[in-house]
C-alpha cells in the first residue's frame, strides 16, 4: 500500500474537509484531566495520558493490572462498571492504592469499544461557580430551574428560561440555545449574556460550523466542556493499541482534546472556554445549549453532571411544548381533512367540484394552490404554475418516484425540477405532491408561493481557503460580523405536520376511492344487466308491435278503397288521422328497434377512415350526387378506432338532424376533428358536426338526448321519431366517450363527441 502525496491530498478544497477530521481519535486529553484505558476481560492497561503522575505516584506501563493502581473498593467498583452497561458514563470517587494522602479522586468511567476508560480530574474547585454549588445543592438548583420552566406559556419564554437557568447554574458569560434546521444550519433562538457583550440572538450559523461527525458525537456524549482553548493538550501513550494498531476511541471521553479547527474557530470569536449541552429529541440532535466564557473555565464533575441533567430537563420541556403545539395544529387541520372526506362521499365527481372543497383542502397542508392531475385532464385552483410546468413536474415525478411512493416535496421547484422558468412557475415555488393510484385522478399537487426571507448570519457563511505548510485547507471564519442574505424563489419549508397530513390525505382518499370503485363496479354490473333486459324487451316489443301496426295500416287502406265515393269528408278525415297515427307509431317502433339493436350488438373495432365513413353517411341521407343546396365540408383525414357500422349510423343521425332542422338557403355542414379545448394538455380526439341551422336553446341541450323527446311539433321540420340523438349518445357511450352540444338559437349547432374514455 503506497502513501498518498500530502500536497496532492490537500490540493482539493471543499466544504467536506472538516467533516473528515477524526475528532473522536484525537490522541490527547485536555490538561485539567487525565485518562487511563484498560482492556476488557483482563483489565490491564493499554493507554495512559502523559500527565497521569499528577494523580498517581507511579507511572504505569502498558500491561499494568487495574488492581495495582487503585484500592480494593475502587477496583471492585470499576470491575462492576466494566461488566455493566456499555456506552454509559458513570461519575464516581476512587482512591489510589499507594499515595501520600488518603484523598479521594473525582473520576468518570465508561466502557466503549472493548475498553474500560477511566478519567481522573482535579478535586478542588477551579471556577467562580463553586460557591454557588456549595450554597445550593444539585436538587435545589434543579427544583428552582424546573419551577421556572413550568411557568413558561410559550416557546420563546421557554427558550429564555433555559438559557437564564443554565447561566445561573454554570456561571458562563454567554449561554445560547441553538436549534438545527432541516438543512443542519443553526439559529440562536434563546440567549442569556452578561452586560456589555454583543447579543447573538437571531443569528444563523452555517451547517459547516458543526461538521457531521461532531453532530454524531453530540448525540453520544451530551456534555462537552473545553476548559481553556489556549491550554496545551496532553498526549495519550501509546498513540495506538499495540494489539490492534488503532488509536483509542475518545467518543465518550470527558476530556478529549479539542480539534485544532474548532480551537481556531473559538479563538476567532474571542472565546477562552466553552461548554455544549446536547438537546436530543426522539433520538435526533434537535439543538445545543452553547456556553461561552471569555476566560479559562474548567468544570468539575459535579458541575458537568448538573448541566447534563439540566439539558435532559430542558429537552423534555422543549419536546413537550413542541409536541403540544404540533398536536394542536394536527387537530385543527384534521377538522378540514374530515370535511374534505365528507364532501368527497357526498359529491358525485369531487374533482369537477374541486372549488367546493378547496377552502378545506388548502388548510390541510397550508397551500396556496392545487392541481388535480388525471390521466387526460388537469383541474387547477388557486395559485398554480402553467399547464406546461405542471405537466413537466408530473413527468419528472413519474420518473423519479419509486414504486409505492405516496408523497414528494420540495421548497424550491427551480432546484428540484429542471427546465422550468420563473414565468411558467408564476408565484409557485414549493410543491407537495400526493400520489393517488386511482383511475380518475393520479396526483394532487399542492403549491406554495414564494417566501422572500432575509437571513442574518454570524459572519460570511462560506468558509475560506487558506494556504498551510502542507497545502491548501479550509479555515474557520475569522469574522463574525452580521452578514445578511436574501433568499428568493423558495417557499416556506414543508413541515412534519404537512407531510403527515399529506400521508393521511393519501390514505383517506385511497380508501374512499377504493370503496367508490367497488360500488361503481357493482352498480355498473347491475346497470349492464338492466340495460340488457331493457334492450331485449325493447327489441321484442318493437318487433311484436310491427305486425299489428301493419294490420292497422292495411285495414285503413282497405276501408278507404271499399268506401270509395260513398265516403264523406268527416270519415275521410278520421281515416287520414288514423293513418298518420299509425305511421307515427311505426316511426316510434322503428326508433325503439334501432335503439335496442345498438345496445345489443357486439362492437367490432377496426380502423375507420373519417372521410370515407362521413361520405357514405351523407350518401345515405341525401343520395348521390349531393343536391346543390347542401354543402358538406370534411376537415381532416383522421383514422378512428371504432365499430364501423355504429360510427356510420352516428354520423348519419347527426348529418340528418343538421339538414332537417335547417332553413338556410344553402344548408352547410362541417365535419372534423380537434383537441378538446376544455381538457388541459389533452390528447383526446374530439369530433364535431357543425351546421348553420336553427340552433338549440342551452336549457334544452340535455333534453334532446332523451328518447322520443322532440322540441317541435310532429309536423314541423319533416317529423321524425326523436330517437336519433338518443341512439347517437348510446353509440358514443358504448365506445367509452361522451357527447355534448354547443349551440344558441339562430346560430347553428355543433354536436361534439369523443370515442374514448374522458375523465
- In this structure, the answer to whether residues 448 and 533 fall within a common structural domain is no
Residue 596 maps to which CATH number? 1.10.287
Q: Give the per-residue pLDDT at 677.
A: 53
Radius of gyration over every alpha carbon of the chain, rounded to an integer in angstroms = 43
- In this structure, the answer to whether residues 661 and 757 fall within a common structural domain is yes
pLDDT at residue 65 above 50? yes
- In this structure, the answer to whether residues 540 and 612 fall within a common structural domain is no
For residue 163, whether the previous peptide bond is cis, meaning omega lies within 30 degrees of 0, is no
**Least confident among 38-42, 46-50, 468-472, 687-691:** 468-472
Q: Annotate 560-618 with DSSP letters as a single string.
A: HHHHGGG--HHHHHHHHHHHHHHHHHHHHHHHHHHHHHHHHSPP-EEEEEHHHHHHHHH
Residue 410 maps to which CATH number? 3.30.450.270
Decide: 343 and 356 in contact? Cβ < 8 Å: yes
Residues in the chain: 759
Residue at a domain's end among 553, 568, 600: 600
Residue 96 maps to which CATH number? 3.30.450.20
> Is 550 among the domain residues?
yes
Give the residue-averaged pLDDT of 260-283.
Answer: 87
The grid cell for 370 is: 392545487
- In this structure, the answer to whether residues 407 and 544 fall within a common structural domain is no
Q: Give the per-residue pLDDT at 528.
A: 62
120-130: per-residue pLDDT in tens? 987 654 444 43
User: 40-78 in b/e burial notation, b at 16+ Cβ within 10 A?
Assistant: beebebbbbbbbbeebbeeebeeebebeebbbeebbebb
> Is 321 among the domain residues?
no
- In this structure, the answer to whether residues 631 and 743 fall within a common structural domain is yes
Decide: 467 and 4 in contact? Cβ < 8 Å: no
Residue at a domain's end among 494, 526, 546: 494
* Cα(201)–Cα(192) distance, integer angstroms: 9
The single-letter DSSP state of residue 717 is G
> Is 362 among the domain residues?
yes
pLDDT at residue 443 above 60? yes
> Is 328 among the domain residues?
no
- In this structure, the answer to whether residues 503 and 489 fall within a common structural domain is no
pLDDT at residue 669 above 70? yes
Give the residue-averaged pLDDT of 359-376.
Answer: 86
Angle between helices 724-734 and 644-660 (to 10 degrees): 150
Confidence of residue 712 (pLDDT cuts 50, 70, 90): very low
546-569: per-residue pLDDT in tens? 566 666 767 777 777 677 666 677
Of 696 and 131, more confident: 696
Of 275 and 134, more confident: 275
Give the residue-averaged pLDDT of 104-117.
Answer: 90
- In this structure, the answer to whether residues 540 and 574 fall within a common structural domain is yes
Q: Which helix (H) or strand (E) holds 31?
A: none
> Is 584 among the domain residues?
yes
The single-letter DSSP state of residue 198 is P
Its pTM surpasses 0.75: no
> Is 159 among the domain residues?
no
pLDDT at residue 329 above 60? yes
pLDDT at residue 87 above 70? yes
Q: Is 379 helix (H, G, I), strand (E, B) or coil?
A: strand
Q: Give the per-residue pLDDT at 352.
A: 64
* Cα(365)–Cα(500) distance, integer angstroms: 9
Residue at a domain's end among 64, 97, 121: 121
Helices and strands (DSSP H and E) totals, the chain: 17, 29
pLDDT at residue 676 above 60? no
The grid cell for 748 is: 347553428
* Cα(39)–Cα(5) distance, integer angstroms: 35
- In this structure, the answer to whether residues 55 and 24 fall within a common structural domain is yes
> Is 106 among the domain residues?
yes
Specify burial of residue 441 (Cβ count, 10 A radius: 0-12, 13-18, 19+). buried
Contacts of residue 225, defined as CB under 8 A and 6 or more positions apart, other chains included, come to 254, 274, 275, 298, 299, 304
198-240: per-residue pLDDT in tens? 888 888 888 877 778 788 888 888 888 898 999 999 999 998 8
Residue 711 maps to which CATH number? 3.30.565.10
Q: Annotate 672-704 with DSSP letters as a single string.
A: EEEE-TTSTT---EEEEEEE-SS---GGGTTGG
Decide: 231 and 30 in contact? Cβ < 8 Å: yes
Q: Give the per-residue pLDDT at 129.
A: 40
- In this structure, the answer to whether residues 580 and 613 fall within a common structural domain is no
Domain region containing 76: 20-30+33-121
* Cα(512)–Cα(447) distance, integer angstroms: 24
Q: Give the per-residue pLDDT at 323.
A: 87
- In this structure, the answer to whether residues 374 and 511 fall within a common structural domain is no
- In this structure, the answer to whether residues 698 and 757 fall within a common structural domain is yes
Q: Give the per-residue pLDDT at 349.
A: 65
What are the strands of the beta sheet with 482-487, ordered from one edge? 223-226, 273-281, 284-293, 174-180, 186-193, 204-205, 453-458, 482-487
- In this structure, the answer to whether residues 634 and 721 fall within a common structural domain is yes
Q: Is 191 helix (H, G, I), strand (E, B) or coil?
A: strand
> Is 231 among the domain residues?
no
The single-letter DSSP state of residue 352 is G
* Average pLDDT score over the chain: 78
Number of domains making up the chain: 4
Amino acid at each position: 500500500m503506497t502513501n498518498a502525496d500530502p500536497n496532492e491530498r490537500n490540493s482539493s478544497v471543499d466544504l467536506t474537509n472538516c467533516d473528515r477530521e477524526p475528532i473522536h481519535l484525537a490522541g490527547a486529553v485536555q490538561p485539567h484531566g487525565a485518562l487511563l484505558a484498560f482492556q476488557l476481560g483482563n483489565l490491564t492497561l493499554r493507554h495512559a495520558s502523559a500527565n497521569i503522575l499528577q494523580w498517581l505516584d507511579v507511572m504505569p506501563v502498558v500491561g499494568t493490572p487495574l488492581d495495582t493502581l487503585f484500592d480494593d473498593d475502587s477496583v471492585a467498583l470499576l470491575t462492576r462498571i466494566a461488566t455493566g452497561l456499555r456506552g454509559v458514563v458513570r461519575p464516581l470517587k476512587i482512591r489510589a492504592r499507594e499515595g501520600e494522602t488518603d484523598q479521594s479522586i473525582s473520576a468518570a468511567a465508561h466502557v466503549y469499544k472493548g475498553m474500560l476508560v477511566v478519567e481522573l480530574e482535579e478535586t478542588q474547585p477551579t471556577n467562580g461557580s463553586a460557591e454557588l454549588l456549595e450554597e445550593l445543592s444539585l436538587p435545589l438548583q434543579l427544583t428552582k430551574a424546573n419551577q421556572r420552566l413550568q411557568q413558561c406559556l410559550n416557546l420563546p419564554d421557554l427558550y429564555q428560561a433555559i438559557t437564564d437557568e443554565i447561566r445561573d447554574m454554570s456561571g458562563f458569560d454567554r449561554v445560547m440555545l441553538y436549534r438545527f434546521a432541516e438543512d443542519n444550519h443553526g439559529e440562536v433562538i434563546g440567549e442569556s449574556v452578561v452586560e456589555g457583550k454583543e447579543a447573538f440572538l437571531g443569528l444563523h450559523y452555517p451547517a459547516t460550523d458543526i461538521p457531521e461527525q461532531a453532530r454524531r458525537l453530540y448525540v453520544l456524549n451530551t456534555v462537552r466542556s473545553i476548559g481553556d482553548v489556549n491550554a496545551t493538550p496532553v498526549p495519550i501513550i501509546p498513540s495506538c493499541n499495540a494489539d490492534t494498531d488503532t488509536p483509542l476511541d475518545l467518543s465518550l471521553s470527558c476530556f478529549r482534546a479539542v480539534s485544532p479547527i474548532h480551537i481556531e474557530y473559538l479563538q476567532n470569536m474571542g472565546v477562552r472556554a466553552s461548554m455544549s449541552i446536547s438537546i436530543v429529541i426522539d433520538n435526533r440532535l434537535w439543538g445545543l445549549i452553547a456556553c461561552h466564557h471569555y476566560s479559562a473555565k474548567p468544570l468539575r464533575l459535579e458541575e458537568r453532571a448538573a448541566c447534563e441533567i439540566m439539558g435532559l430537563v430542558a429537552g423534555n420541556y422543549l419536546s413537550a411544548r413542541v409536541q403540544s403545539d404540533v398536536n394542536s395544529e394536527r387537530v385543527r387541520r384534521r377538522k378540514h381533512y374530515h370535511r374534505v372526506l365528507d364532501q368527497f362521499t357526498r359529491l358525485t365527481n369531487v374533482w369537477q367540484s374541486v372549488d367546493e372543497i378547496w377552502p378545506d383542502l388548502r388548510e390541510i397542508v397550508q397551500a396556496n394552490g392545487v392541481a388535480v392531475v388525471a390521466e387526460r385532464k388537469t383541474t387547477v385552483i388557486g395559485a398554480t404554475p402553467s399547464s406546461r410546468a405542471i405537466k413537466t413536474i408530473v413527468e419528472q415525478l413519474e420518473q423519479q418516484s419509486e414504486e409505492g411512493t405516496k408523497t414528494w416535496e420540495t421548497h424550491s421547484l427551480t432546484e428540484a425540477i429542471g427546465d422550468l422558468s420563473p414565468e411558467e412557475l408564476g408565484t409557485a415555488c414549493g410543491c407537495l405532491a400526493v400520489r393517488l393510484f386511482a383511475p380518475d385522478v393520479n396526483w394532487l399537487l399542492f403549491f406554495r408561493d414564494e417566501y422572500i426571507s432575509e437571513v442574518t448570519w454570524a459572519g460570511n457563511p462560506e468558509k475560506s481557503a487558506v494556504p498551510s505548510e502542507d497545502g491548501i485547507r479550509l479555515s474557520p471564519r475569522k469574522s463574525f460580523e452580521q452578514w445578511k442574505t436574501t433568499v428568493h424563489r423558495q417557499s416556506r419549508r414543508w413541515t412534519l405536520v404537512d407531510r403527515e397530513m399529506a400521508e393521511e390525505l393519501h390514505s383517506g382518499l385511497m380508501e374512499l376511492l377504493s370503496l367508490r370503485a367497488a360500488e361503481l363496479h357493482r352498480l355498473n354490473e347491475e346497470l349492464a344487466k338492466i340495460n340488457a333486459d331493457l334492450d331485449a324487451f325493447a327489441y321484442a316489443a318493437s318487433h311484436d308491435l310491427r305486425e299489428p301496426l301493419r294490420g292497422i295500416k292495411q285495414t285503413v287502406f282497405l276501408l278507404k278503397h271499399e268506401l270509395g265515393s260513398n265516403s264523406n269528408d268527416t270519415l275521410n278525415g278520421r281515416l287520414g288521422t288514423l293513418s298518420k297515427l299509425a305511421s307515427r307509431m311505426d316511426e316510434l317502433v322503428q326508433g325503439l328497434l334501432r335503439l335496442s339493436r345498438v345496445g345489443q350488438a357486439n362492437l367490432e373495432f377496426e380502423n375507420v377512415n373519417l372521410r370515407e365513413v362521413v361520405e357514405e353517411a351523407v350518401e345515405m341521407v341525401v343520395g348521390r350526387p349531393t343536391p346543390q343546396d347542401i354543402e358538406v365540408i370534411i376537415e381532416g383525414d383522421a383514422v378512428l378506432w371504432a365499430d364501423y357500422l355504429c360510427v356510420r349510423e352516428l354520423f348519419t343521425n347527426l348529418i340528418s338532424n343538421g339538414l332537417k332542422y335547417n332553413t338556410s338557403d344553402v344548408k352547410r355542414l362541417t365535419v372534423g376533428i380537434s383537441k378538446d379545448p376544455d381538457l388541459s394538455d389533452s390528447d383526446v380526439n374530439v369530433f364535431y358536426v357543425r351546421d348553420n341551422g336553427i340552433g338549440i336553446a342551452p336549457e334544452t341541450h340535455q333534453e334532446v338526448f332523451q328518447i322520443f323527446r322532440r322540441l317541435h311539433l310532429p309536423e314541423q321540420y319533416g317529423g321524425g321519431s326523436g330517437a336519433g340523438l338518443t341512439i347517437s349518445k348510446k353509440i358514443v357511450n358504448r365506445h367509452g366517450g361522451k357527447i355534448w352540444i354547443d349551440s344558441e338559437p339562430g346560430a347553428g349547432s355543433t354536436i361534439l363527441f369523443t370515442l374514448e374514455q374522458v375523465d
